[in-house]
Structure 1
Amino acid sequence: MMNTPFPRRTRSVVMNRWSDDFAAYHRYIDHDAHDVAYLCTPEGAKALEATRISHIEILPDFNDIHRLRVAFDACRTRLTGVDRLIALSEFDLLAAAQLRETFDVPGDRPATAARFRDKTVMKRVVSAAGLRVPQFVELNDREDALATVAGLRHPLIVKPRTGAASIGVHRVDSVEQFGALLPRLTGTSYECEEFIEGPIYHVDGIVSSGKPLLIRASRYLNSCLDFANGKPLGSIMLQPGPSNDELLAFAQTSLRALSLVDGAFHLEVIRGSDGLYFLEIGARVGGGEIPFLFRDLYGIDIFSLWVRQQLNYGTPLASEAGVGAAARSTELGGFLLLPEATGSRLLRAVVPDGIAPLYAAITPKANHVFDGKGGYDKILGRFRYRGRSEDEIDAAIAATLERFQYELGDIDAPSRPAWPRGHWHDGYPLPENAPSRCR
């Protein structure tokens, strides 16, 4: 359903790298009532569904800021000016902020974007506000890196300062492992932080005028780094109680420290032995099945709200039907993601019946080839759950892991096992009698 029309005709540029349903911007912007141009990658351009587009500039990628400026200027010329620049992918938030500053377009500027993209900047800010963060150092000089991290305890986590989706993240358990990793750290800026043992949570929602309009805390089963290394990833929303209250309070303190006034957010937190630790935050909608759970459970499209905020920059979100009810809802959701069996093709997948909380399951079509580029989308399986308690959803995820069946075929080389490589976690071991090619 199209949103309520905006008060005046806007001239907007949209940065789009997405090649799937997320590229359906016509759901959020009436292209007949407003002038919209696009900066796109080739695959992103193919995915656009709007019937009326003022202009499109196609670039091989968004890595070259000079080429982006030239392409944006071409859009600006075609539109006779630009009122707003819309960017929804975490990978594009810094570039979009630089374009806004160069061309004086309202919206987040580089200093704001850095607080939510540079992991060293965000940790310094929240640490200054009194929140715990893992001890960390910047790896600015690779030659002195060993001396730089000498004061940190192992294990260590090495990650790109502006990375996302656990791309380029490494855990090292010794000085020798760190030394062997250093030559491979090329092409970007890195930071190194102490590994904090404990469960990981994520808090998602959207802020309007400095206050959470909608906010939900969830507990991860495994971690995003585990998923990048071939293990399943799950999540369960927390039911009301002390743990949920503590996480929501921690999240709101973090948001105030980082001065997020308007926008979506995805915060990750670790519960260490001495309390909660800030891990990292993105000023964007959470990935995986998170936006689908908000839509399916509460009827709220967070992307729609976020686009409205970017189009009406500086204006509080008007009262949206259903947001208040969603914020008060006690219904919980969860998801399970099964990673790719890279180097294989899917012969068949059988989703188990009789798991009541499991309401949606997405698997690739037969003969789909897993090429290692599936991210959180084109993977072995995506499952969504709804229920009234954490235990109910937890048990449903365990049952799915035990009963989901699939069969893989070789491409040019023997296929690798899909999941898990070892245990899911201590509570969910693989059935011992599971055949090697069909689990």
Structure 2
Amino acid sequence: MTIDPSSKARRIVVLNRWSDDFAAYHRYIDHAVHNVAYVCTPNGAAALRAPCTTHIVPDFLDEDALHAAVRACGATLGGIDRLVALSEFDLMAAARLRNSFSIPGDLPDQVVRFRDKAVMKYDIAAAGLRVPRFAALEDLGFPDAEEINAMRFPVIVKPRTGAASVGVRRVDTRAQFDALWPTLPIAGYECEEYIEGTIYHVDGFVLDGAFVIARASRYVNTCLEFAQGKPLGSVMLDPGPLNDALLTFADASLRALALVNGPFHLEIIRGRDGLYFLEIGARVGGGEIPFLFRDLYGVDLFALWVAQQSGDEARFTAQTQAAFAASTSCARGGFLMLPEPIGKVFVDAQLPQGIAALYETVLPKQHHLFDGAGGYDTILARFRYRGASEHEIAVAIHATLRDFRFTLAELATLAIFEKETLAAPHSP
């Protein structure tokens, strides 16, 4: 994406589905300088903190409504110079809107390489990088295709444009695969061999094809296991051969997919015979990743991305220079997320003591009902760590898992408790 060097006011449209602090775009866009209009879901509109023109659509999946809302924004602003979209689920829609309204920025043929898990693997394999054996199910035509016969079970079946392991399944036998086949929307799925090994992720930002800042981390458990109810953690690696190998693999992957400018979140498996590409997003990593970059290095990856998408070269240049300087820091960090105990109510928790690396804990509000919609945010607990080494962070995560205590209740039990509390006489 080319940054417009002009510093004049721009007409910017923002697609916002977020209803939390991520919707604080006033931190990133100077609304006194630029003319800004928002297209939001109802919850997203309620979260905005800057006075602005807002067009509400019931659901971003309705691209006709989205298109009409953006057209209305253009009429209000007198044109559109830039379109900003930060949610992974909106990147392709934003690309199609840029194409329709001739707005500079990432277009569909660029975005698809980072949203479609089959397309990205084809490009990675063509570049000579190691990927698991895989196949787009719509290319097979039937479950007994040659590509499936060549695969070793277990295999992983996943939506091609999914996120957060939603809809991902491990299939252990051929019989299970044959039984699953007729239940799947074939055009939307791919399958790949399961590779035994540790999963790593590399996160950062690139400018002109080079790392501005990048960190390689080791997962504790996996994203799929988190979706199945297990804790998910991550530990940044110390400098060394493995860290260097992961960064080299990440650089080669970004080049194969032609990501020249922007954020990235790449997942890599370390198998018995080397590193395997798992998947990538041209976006800021989820969960606690952006908070760690902010807290450890003073780098707001979302601020960088918005400056890039909005064409604010002055901010973008200053922020990339600061991020590059921070990239030499020896600080290491990590996170731990405990999944939702769906159907339970949060009562209280006792935080572990004496864990020096643990610097931030995020808990749900008292009496919060876990309904399964918490994603990586409104979950049982989120912990952030910082320290001087990979070992220190790993020890802190395991100590937290050992010592964290919490109390849950059934919804019916809580309702009885509240009724009794309200009926009890109060002291004068």
Shift of residue 59, structure 1, vs aligned partner = 1.1
Shift of 1:413: 9.4
* Alpha carbons 2:307, 2:313 under 8 Å: kept: no
Aligned to 2:114: 116
Partner of 2:399: 399
Shift of 1:143: 6.5
In structure 1, what is the Cα distance between the partners aligned to 2:38 and 2:226?
32
SS at match of 1:202: strand
Q: Which residue of the partner structure matches residue 130 of structure 2?
A: 132
Between the aligned partners of 2:170 and 2:326, the Cα distance in structure 1 is 38
**2:172 alignment partner in structure 1:** 173
Amino acid at match of 1:190: Y
Any stretches of 5+ residues in structure 1 without a counterpart?
415-439
Give the superposition deviation at 1:325: 3.0
Q: Deviations over 1:136-177 (max 9, x none)?
A: 011117861343522211111001111111111111101222
Show the counterpart of 1:77.
75
| Structure 2: unaligned runs, 5 residues or longer | 415-428
- CA displacement 1:21-64 (0-9 Å, x = unmatched): 000000000111111111111111111111x21x2111111112
Confirm or deny: 8 A CA contact 1:234 1:336 kept in the other structure. yes
2:332 aligns with 332
In structure 2, the partner of 1:385 is: 385
- Assess, with a 3 A threshold, how the Cα gap between structure 1 residues 197 and 215 changes in structure 2: closer, same or farther: same
Q: TM-score, normalised by structure 2?
A: 0.92
Q: What secondary structure, in the 3-state scheme, does the structure 1 residue paired with 2:7 have? A: coil
For residues 23 and 265 of structure 1, do their structure 2 counterparts lie closer, same or farther at Cα, with a shift above 3 Å needed? same
Indicate how the Cα distance of structure 1 residues 13 and 188 shifts in structure 2: closer, same or farther if over 3 A, else same.
farther
- The one of 93, 96, 100 equivalent to 2:94 is 96
The answer as to whether partners of 2:339 and 2:380 remain within 8 angstroms in 1 is yes
Alignment of 1:35-434 (within 5 A): 35-50=35-50, 52-53=51-52, 55-140=53-138, 144-147=142-145, 149-186=148-185, 189-312=188-311, 317-320=316-319, 322-412=322-412
Quote the Cα distance in structure 2 between the aligned partners of 1:256 and 1:315.
26
1:365-393 Cα offsets, whole Å, 9 max, x none, are: 22110000000000000000001111111
User: How many angstroms does 1:316 deviate by?
Assistant: 10
Compute the TM-score of the two structures, normalised by the length of structure 1: 0.90
In structure 2, the partner of 1:436 is none
Do the aligned residues in 2 keep the contact of 1:208 with 1:316 (CA within 8 Å)?
no
Distance 2:102 2:82 in 1: 10
2 CA distance for matches of 1:366 and 1:209?
Answer: 47
- What CA RMSD, in Å, does the superposition of the two structures yield over aligned residues? 1.9
Q: Which residue of 2 aligns with 1:434?
A: none
**2:327 match: secondary structure:** helix
Deviations 1:51-80 (A, max 9, x none): x21x21111111122221111111111111
Contact 1:358 1:384 in 2 (8 A): yes
CA spacing shift, 1:142–1:45, aligned 2, 3 Å: farther
Measure the CA separation in 2 of the matches of 1:162 and 1:215: 24
Contact 2:307 2:315 in 1 (8 A): no
Distance in 2, matches of 1:313 and 1:123, equals 33
Aligned length: 408
Aligned to 2:124, what secondary structure does the other structure show? helix
User: What's the % identity of the aligned pairs?
Assistant: 60
CA distance in 2, matches of 1:184, 1:34: 49
Summarize the Cα distance change of 1:319–1:114 in structure 2 as closer, same or farther, 3 Å threshold. same
The structure in which a higher percent of residues are helix is 2
Q: CA deviation at 1:182?
A: 2.8
Aligned to 1:348, the other structure's residue is in SS state strand
Query: What residue identity is the alignment partner of 2:119?
Result: V
CA gap of 1:372–1:187, structure 2 versus 1, over 3 A, is farther
CA distance in 1, matches of 2:312, 2:187: 32
Q: Specify the SS of the correspondent of 1:318.
A: helix
**CA shift in 2, pair 1:6/1:330, >3 Å:** farther
Q: Which residue is 2:418 aligned to?
A: none
**Range that drifts further, 148-157 or 384-393:** 148-157
In the alignment, what sits opposite 1:424? none
**CA distance in structure 2 between the partners assigned to 1:160 and 1:408 by the alignment:** 33
CA distance in 2, matches of 1:29, 1:315: 12
> What residue is the counterpart of 1:428 in the other structure?
none
Separation in structure 1 between the aligned mates of residue 396 and residue 144 of structure 2, nearest angstrom: 45
Distance 1:96-1:187 versus aligned 2 partners, 3 A rule: farther
Over 3 Å counting, the alpha-carbon distance change for 1:117 and 1:313 in structure 2 is farther
User: Is the Cα contact below 8 Å between 1:232 and 1:337 reproduced in 2?
Assistant: yes
- Find the residue that maps to 2:407 and give its secondary structure: strand
**Take 2:128 and 2:328, find their aligned partners in 1: how far apart are those partners?**
29
Counterpart amino acid of residue 88 in structure 1? L
Q: Which amino acid aligns with 1:56?
A: T
Q: How has the CA–CA distance of structure 1 residues 20 and 174 changed in structure 2, closer, same or farther, with 3 Å as cutoff?
A: same
Matches of 1:11 and 1:38, distance apart in 2:
11
**Cα distance in structure 2, aligned partners of 1:387 and 1:181:** 45
Letter of the aligned partner of 2:18 in structure 1? W
- Report the CA distance shift for 1:56/1:319 in structure 2 as closer, same or farther (over 3 A): closer
SS of residue matched to 1:132: coil
Task: Work out the CA distance in 2 between the residues paired with 1:179 and 1:230.
Answer: 26
> Is the Cα contact below 8 Å between 1:343 and 1:413 reproduced in 2?
no
What's the CA shift for 1:224? 0.5
Q: CA–CA distance in 2 between the matches of 1:195 and 1:353?
A: 39
